[in-house]
């Protein structure tokens, strides 16, 4: 499947992946599910099906967490994953990408497989409730929100430690919890949720 994708044979790669997924699900082969959903995300991205690709990328991330490693720790594959993530973020915008990606991480495996196979809802039709209500950080504690704001500023964990006068281990734990609760895997995605554009009226007030 990966070879077909690399050779630009996207339709063939997609069909092969969709044939593999049902049997992998029946047999409980988490690693096979993770890899296949991952590669189907790359195919969807290559075919400009960006929201579908983001959902699948999020779903594969949840599966890789169960495996305990992402793409077997192979740097070349990890780099390709990063390229796909960056392309999706560019096309969808950081905020929308993070919303759709997070939606994918929360899907039941059977539902994820159904979507990956071309059935069911292929995109996240609306943002999660917390985002609709004006806050993408609903699951976070006040302290975690404070840490999230520092992540947006570009601070490293060590710098967060110094700013909050806490231990490095505590800062590491806060960051890990933030990523898990928001269903994201990178600090850039956290920034996409936190650093939201101001409404037009707010911008006008600032410009006045």
Least confident span in 82-86, 131-135, 140-144, 180-184: 131-135
Q: Tell me the range of 45-54, 83-92, 114-123, 153-162 where mean pLDDT is highest.
A: 45-54
Q: In the predicted model, what is the mean pLDDT of residues 12-20?
A: 96
Sequential DSSP letters for 132-181: HTT-TTTTS-HHHHHHHHHHHTT--HHHHHHHHT--HHHHHHHHHHHHHH
Banded pLDDT at 122 (limits 50, 70, 90):
low
* 109 vs 122: which has the higher pLDDT: 109
> Has residue 24 got a pLDDT over 90?
yes
Least confident span in 38-42, 64-68, 164-168, 204-208: 204-208
The token pair at 195 is 């650093």
Distance CA 82, CA 95 (A): 17
Helix axes 168-182, 187-194, angle to 10 degrees: 70
pLDDT, tens digit, 9 for 90 and up, residues 131-162: 434 455 667 777 888 898 899 888 999 999 88
Banded pLDDT at 9 (limits 50, 70, 90):
very high
Q: What is the pTM of this model?
A: 0.67
* 73 vs 142: which has the higher pLDDT: 73
Q: In the predicted model, what is the mean pLDDT of residues 80-98?
A: 85
Distance CA 104, CA 112 (A): 7
Distance CA 46, CA 87 (A): 10
């Amino acid at each position: 499947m990966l070879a077909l994708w690399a050779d630009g044979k996207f339709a063939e790669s997609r069909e092969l992946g969709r044939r593999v997924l049902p049997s992998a699900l029946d047999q409980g082969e988490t690693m096979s599910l993770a890899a296949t959903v991952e590669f189907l995300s790359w195919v969807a991205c290559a075919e400009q099906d960006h929201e579908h690709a983001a959902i699948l990328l999020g779903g594969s991330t949840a599966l890789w967490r169960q495996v305990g490693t992402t793409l077997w720790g192979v740097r070349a594959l990890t780099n390709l994953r990063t390229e796909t993530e960056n392309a999706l973020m560019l096309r969808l915008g950081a905020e929308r990408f993070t919303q759709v990606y997070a939606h994918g991480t929360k899907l039941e495996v059977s539902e994820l497989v159904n979507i990956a196979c071309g059935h069911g809802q292929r995109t996240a039709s609306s943002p999660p409730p917390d985002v609709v209500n004006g806050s993408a950080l609903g699951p976070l504690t006040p302290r975690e929100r404070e840490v999230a704001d520092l992540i947006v500023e570009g601070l490293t964990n060590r710098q967060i430690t110094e700013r909050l006068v806490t231990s490095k281990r505590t800062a590491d734990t806060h960051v890990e919890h933030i990523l898990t609760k928001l269903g994201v895997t990178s600090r850039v995605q956290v920034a996409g949720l936190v650093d939201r554009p101001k409404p037009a009226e707010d911008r006008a007030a600032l410009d006045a």
